[in-house]
Structure 1
Amino acid sequence: MAGEVRFEPDLYRGTAGYYDRFRLPYPDVMIADLARRTAPSGRGRLLDLACGTGQLAFPLRGWFADVWAVDAEPGMTEVVRAKATDAGAAQIRTVTAGAEELRAEPESFELIVIGNAFHRLRRPLVAERAHTWLKPGGCLALCWSTSPWAGTHDWQRALDRLLRRWQNDLGASGRVPPGWDQARKRDPDHAVLSRAGFEPAGRHEFAVEYQWAIGELAGHIRSTSFLPPSVLASHAAEFDADLTTELSGHTVDGRLTETVSFAYELVRKPVHG
């Protein structure tokens, strides 16, 4: 585990409401594709690890008799619990625990999903435990999507510059560890998973056009670990005004358009004997 970057455990404190409202949902076509390739029995158990507010647990729940939604942040699991009650989703069980501390029986899950979070976890340890928790033939899916400030449109470059400036001005640049992505470049996810005993089962991408209102982007930014409400604090109104000033000139009919790339990397626990 040497060389793995450690993220502070409370980076998402206070973000759950924004996370649930402003994070883009995984497209239905991706969810259906994941279910088709993993072929759940309908009687098994799903583990949504580092679940956020259940962006994978809820759309996948129909294929499982039992769903564990696990997150280290109590605010996230509180939202999942309330949503499950409202939806009558009795099969969803919330567990407030870090991925590294979760206790589960060996071979107790048919599918494990991790959405936009594997890089924040102690990858070798989580991969080894996930391999133990899965039934033979079961799958682990690393799911993710691109961020609106990471694209090549002029408005995305302007947004990226603005976010960097605000992080510097508010002393928040160190909330995400510098060079966090270097560990993944030196030791890619697929290599970590292979060492844990998984076999590759393909990477699958889905492009979706999305049109943001500036207010939606403001909410989305508050769902992040680098400029959450606790960091913006009394500067929130000033930030929103700056965001509007920077991006208004790029809008068309009040919207900012991008192509969001959703994807998942699938690996399988071999069936022996």
Structure 2
Amino acid sequence: MTDGDWEWDETLFAGTAAHYSVGRVPYPAGLAAAVREALGLDGTGRLLDVGCGPGSLTLVLAPLFESTVGVDPDAGMLAEAARRAAEAGLDRVGWRRLRAEELSDDLGPFRVAAFAQSFHWMDRPLVARRVRGLLDPDGCWIHVGATTHRGAEHDEALPHPAPPWDRIGELVAAYLGPVRRAGQGFLPGGTAGGEEEVMREAGYTEAARFQVDDGRVFVRDADSVVSAVFSLSSSAPHLFADRLPAFESELRGLLADAGGRFSEREAPTGVVVWRP
């Protein structure tokens, strides 16, 4: 996918929202404190989380602000986000079903606009320009990058083996083909790169870059790994159509053969701060 031929596909994450709570590991416990310190936050201002999905980052950062707006085009994601916010007792968060390309000035202003594993799915030059108009004069944009469906690769001994991700990938390919799926299309080259160039061309300056790593080890069962697979756009449940039960059965068999209980160390979370 390139910015020049960008087109929104509403099926990208269809059916994945409910799998996030089970299959995705949470962001590091120290992420909110690191963001607060880096940005000098004092509990005032508003947060905009663009492409918020089921609120995984929104709910981590919302307590740092007076109020928060989460924006996503997927109704299932927003329903899951609202459920999780209510469960956490967060009542100063609102949700809007919008594509990032539809952001309008009436939503602002915001002290911080956050993007977590979402910007590459958007018309990036357009979104970068629109967000600039929504930020306070001293506001900023933060990119939060992490791999939350699986842990970091390592050679250390953990209480259990790592999930057999290579074999899982082979099983997905056996059902969906060797080229990575993405909604109704394909991503032979993976998701878009060149983020820094896009941001600089839109008039932003990189202000800070840091990493958060709590070093936690997670123990995962088969349900967790199955949901991790189904939380991905490349293996969303709808892509399997009527072969979904057969795929899940084979996947669970593979996990049972591998021991059924797994350990992974969380991958570091990177944060880049951009100022207009």
Shared fold (TM-score, shorter chain, > 0.5): yes
The separation in 2 between residues aligned to 1:25 and 1:220, in whole angstroms, is 12
The separation in 1 between residues aligned to 2:36 and 2:119, in whole angstroms, is 20
Greater than 4 Å deviation, 4+ residue runs: 149-154
SS at match of 1:148: coil
User: Residue 51 of structure 1 contacts residue 114 of structure 1 at CA under 8 Å; is this kept in 2?
Assistant: yes
The separation in 1 between residues aligned to 2:219 and 2:209, in whole angstroms, is 29
| Candidates 163, 168, 192, aligned match of 2:177 | 168
Structure 1 residue 258: deviation in Å? 2.8
Gaps of 5+ in 1: none
Cross-structure match for 1:20: 21
The alignment's C-alpha RMSD in Å is 2.8
Cross-structure match for 2:57: 56
| Candidates 229, 236, 246, aligned match of 1:228 | 236
Structure 1 residue 227: deviation in Å? 2.3
Q: Cα deviations across residues 28-70 of structure 1 (Å, max 9, x unaligned)?
A: 1122212221122312100111001111111211111110011
User: Residue 113 of structure 1 contacts residue 141 of structure 1 at CA under 8 Å; is this kept in 2?
Assistant: yes
In the alignment, does 2:259 pair up with 1:258?
no
Structure 1 residue 216: deviation in Å? 1.1
In the alignment, does 2:150 pair up with 1:148?
yes
Structure 1 residue 174: deviation in Å? 5.8
The separation in 1 between residues aligned to 2:92 and 2:182, in whole angstroms, is 39
Structure 1 residue 17: deviation in Å? 1.5
SS at match of 1:261: coil
The separation in 1 between residues aligned to 2:163 and 2:14, in whole angstroms, is 31
Structure 1 residue 150: deviation in Å? 8.7
User: Residue 3 of structure 2 contacts residue 125 of structure 2 at CA under 8 Å; is this kept in 1?
Assistant: no
The separation in 2 between residues aligned to 1:174 and 1:50, in whole angstroms, is 16
User: Residue 5 of structure 1 contacts residue 177 of structure 1 at CA under 8 Å; is this kept in 2?
Assistant: no
Cross-structure match for 2:159: none
The separation in 2 between residues aligned to 1:149 and 1:159, in whole angstroms, is 14
SS at match of 2:164: helix
- Kindly report which structure 2 residues correspond to 1:1-273, keeping only aligned pairs within 5 A, or say none: 2-3=3-4, 5-105=6-106, 108-146=109-147, 147-148=149-150, 151=153, 155-168=164-177, 173=181, 175=183, 177-181=186-190, 183-184=192-193, 188-200=194-206, 201-206=208-213, 207-251=215-259, 254-270=260-276
SS at match of 1:100: helix
Gaps of 5+ in 2: 155-161
Give the length in aligned residue pairs: 264
What percentage of residue pairs aligned between the two structures are identical? 25
Structure 1 residue 126: deviation in Å? 1.3
Change (3 A) 1:14 1:49: same
Q: Cα deviations across residues 131-179 of structure 1 (Å, max 9, x unaligned)?
A: 221123322121232243995868222122122222129x984635323
SS at match of 2:104: coil
TM-score by length of 1: 0.84
Change (3 A) 1:216 1:129: same
User: Residue 50 of structure 2 contacts residue 115 of structure 2 at CA under 8 Å; is this kept in 1?
Assistant: yes
Structure 1 residue 113: deviation in Å? 1.1
Structure 1 residue 12: deviation in Å? 1.5
The separation in 2 between residues aligned to 1:19 and 1:182, in whole angstroms, is 20
User: Residue 210 of structure 2 contacts residue 270 of structure 2 at CA under 8 Å; is this kept in 1?
Assistant: yes
User: Residue 24 of structure 2 contacts residue 150 of structure 2 at CA under 8 Å; is this kept in 1?
Assistant: no
Mean Cα displacement is larger for which, 174-183 or 218-227? 174-183
Structure 1 residue 81: deviation in Å? 2.5
Structure 1 residue 205: deviation in Å? 4.3
TM-score by length of 2: 0.83
User: Residue 149 of structure 1 contacts residue 157 of structure 1 at CA under 8 Å; is this kept in 2?
Assistant: no
The separation in 2 between residues aligned to 1:159 and 1:72, in whole angstroms, is 29
